[in-house]
A and B are shown apart, each in its own frame.
Chain A
Amino acid sequence: MERTKISKSPQVILKGLHKRYGLGDTVLKDIDLEVGKGEFIGLIGPSGCGKSTLLKMIAGLTPVTSGTLEIDGKTPEAARDQMSFIFQEATLLPWLTVHKNIQTTMRLHGVDKKECQRIADKMAALVGLDHVKGFYPRQLSGGMQMRVSIARALSVSPKILLLDEPFGALDEMTRDHLNEELLKIRSIEEWTAFFVTHSVSEAVFLSTEIIVLTANPGTIYKKIFVDFPYPRTAKIRESPEFQRLVSEVSHHLRSVDR
Chain B
Amino acid sequence: MKKHLIWILPALTGAILIGLWYAIIIIGGQPHYVLPSPWQILEACVREREMLIPAALRTGFAAIVGFVAAVGGGSIIALVLASSRWVHRAFYPWVLVMQMTPLIVLVPIFVLWFGEGLPSITAITFGICFFPVVANTTMGLISTDKNLLDLFRMSNASFTQEIFLLRMPYALPYFLTGVKIAGTLAPIGAITGDFLAGTASTYAGLGYLVQNYRSQIMTAELFAVAFVGCIIGFIFVASVNFVHWYLLHNWHESSLKADH
Contacts and interface: CB of A to CB of B under 8 A. Distances in A.
Nearest to A107: B165
B154 A87 contact: no
A205 interface: no
A93 interface: yes
Contacts, number: 59
Contacts of B252: 94-95
Contact of B154 (A83, A94, A136, A137): A83
A65 B152 CA distance: 23
Contacts of B181: none
Interface string B236-260: 0000000000000011110010001
Interface in B160-206: 161, 165-166, 169, 172
B154 A61 contact: yes
A89 interface: yes
Interface residues of B, number: 22
Interface in A60-77: 60-61
* Highest count of chain A CB atoms <10 Å: which of B169, B251, B252, B253: B251
B154 A95 contact: no
Interface in B104-154: 145, 147-148, 150-154
A236 B139 CA distance: 50
Interface residues of A, number: 26
A235 B256 CA distance: 42
Contact of B251 (A80, A94, A104): A94
A95 B251 contact: yes
Interface string A71-111: 00000000011011101110101111000000011001100
A3 interface: no
Interface of B: 145, 147-148, 150-157, 161, 165-166, 169, 172, 250-253, 256, 260
14 contacts: A61-B154, A81-B155, A83-B154, A87-B151, A88-B147, A91-B148, A95-B251, A95-B252, A104-B151, A108-B156, A108-B165, A109-B155, A136-B250, A139-B260
